[in-house]
Amino acid sequence: MLNYLYLDYGGKAKYRAELKYSLISLRVELDPARARILVASDAPEVYRNWPVTVMDIAPHIRDWSGGGLYYHRIKPALVRAALERFAEPMLFLDSDSIVRPGFHAEAAEKIAGAVVMNRFEKQNPIPPIRGFRTRLPHLGEYRYDVAHSWMYNSGLIGVTPQHLPLLDDTLAMIDALIGRAKKFPTIEQFALSEVLRLTRTPIAEIPDSFLHYWQGRRRIYMANQIKKSLSPDWDDLTPPKEWAEMNYWKIRAYNYYHGITRVLEPFQ
């Protein structure tokens, strides 16, 4: 069975609203007999009425975040823990996302022969760490390579139990870089991408049927779309009448309006 995994910690309403919207879009795609939705949270009671399997991660937040130094470390640590617990294919989804038709079929096909990630981002992703070296538990000696190091976006991470050693090395690389996390917040997706490169693990992208709107303008636009389209009843998972469209001009227009109204707020 393919497992879909969401993460919620910190209790921020805007992030939970994103998770709800994404999860509703995912449920439209799924046959419950062939897939499971997991929500990992430090407040599991919030999801007690949802048709999901809840993982209580409150006791692990400090350890998984490197003692609070880098909260994005929680993501690969959670994926590793979920793989160990369920021993089945696991697909992590960032909450700031929309699942489109065909996603489940594409994900199920691709995860069978590769690690699934959202999309390729860049070559030589963190030039200032040129010369960085460390030792990883499975790969051994590692050196940042300006000619070949790369990074994929980890809005999606799809792995199977055979990939557990890759996550060990990913977490070890993050820990070696964690002191630079404030300056380089993407070290989590960089570390996983590098481990996949060096182990020559196939990577399958899903850039179209999974829409990841992490950028600032699109996220502001989506906050308004979510507020307008979903029920205020937290436990009502009815799909919206229309899904949000990431139209360039709509996003620009809304952000212009949003900026003007914020400027005028003190005078109202």
In eight-state DSSP terms, residue 257 is: H
Is the pLDDT at 78 greater than 70? The verdict is yes
What is the C-alpha separation between 5 and 235, in angstroms, rounded? Answer: 18
Contact 95, 18 (CB under 8 A): yes
Q: Which secondary-structure segment (H or E) carries 169?
A: helix 164-177
3-state helix, strand, coil in the chain (%, to 5): 45, 20, 35
| Mean pLDDT value across residues 148-169 | 98
| Per-residue confidence (pLDDT) for residue 264, from 0 to 100 | 37
Residue 262 pLDDT class (50, 70, 90 cuts): low
| Per-residue confidence (pLDDT) for residue 258, from 0 to 100 | 61
| Per-residue confidence (pLDDT) for residue 26, from 0 to 100 | 97
| Per-residue confidence (pLDDT) for residue 31, from 0 to 100 | 85
- What value does the mean pLDDT of the chain take? 93
| Mean pLDDT value across residues 7-15 | 97
Is the pLDDT at 247 greater than 80? The verdict is no
| Mean pLDDT value across residues 233-245 | 94
First to last CA, the chain: 54
Helix (H, G, I), strand (E, B) or coil at 107: helix
State pTM to two decimals.
0.93
What is the C-alpha separation between 228 and 175, in angstroms, rounded? Answer: 41
Dihedrals φ, ψ of 174, to 5°? Answer: -60, -45
Paired residues of 141 in beta bridges: 135
| Mean pLDDT value across residues 146-165 | 97
Is the pLDDT at 103 greater than 70? The verdict is yes
* Six token digits for residue 265: 């707020």
Dihedrals φ, ψ of 239, to 5°? Answer: -65, 150
Q: Name the residue among 218, 72, 70, 81 with its Cα closest to residue 155.
A: 72
More confident residue, 55 or 218: 55
Is the pLDDT at 172 greater than 50? The verdict is yes
Domains of the chain and CATH, by start: 2-212 (3.90.550.10), 216-267 (no CATH)
Lowest mean pLDDT segment, chosen from 16-20, 179-183, 232-236? 179-183
Give percent of the chain above pLDDT 70: 95
* Six token digits for residue 195: 């481990």
Q: Which secondary-structure segment (H or E) carries 103?
A: helix 103-111
Lowest mean pLDDT segment, chosen from 75-84, 99-108, 136-145, 209-218? 209-218
| Mean pLDDT value across residues 195-220 | 95
| Per-residue confidence (pLDDT) for residue 32, from 0 to 100 | 81
| Per-residue confidence (pLDDT) for residue 266, from 0 to 100 | 40
Residues 6+ apart with CB under 8 A from 11: 42, 43
Residue 181 pLDDT class (50, 70, 90 cuts): confident
241 exposed, middle or buried (CB, 10 Å; 0-12, 13-18, 19+)?
exposed
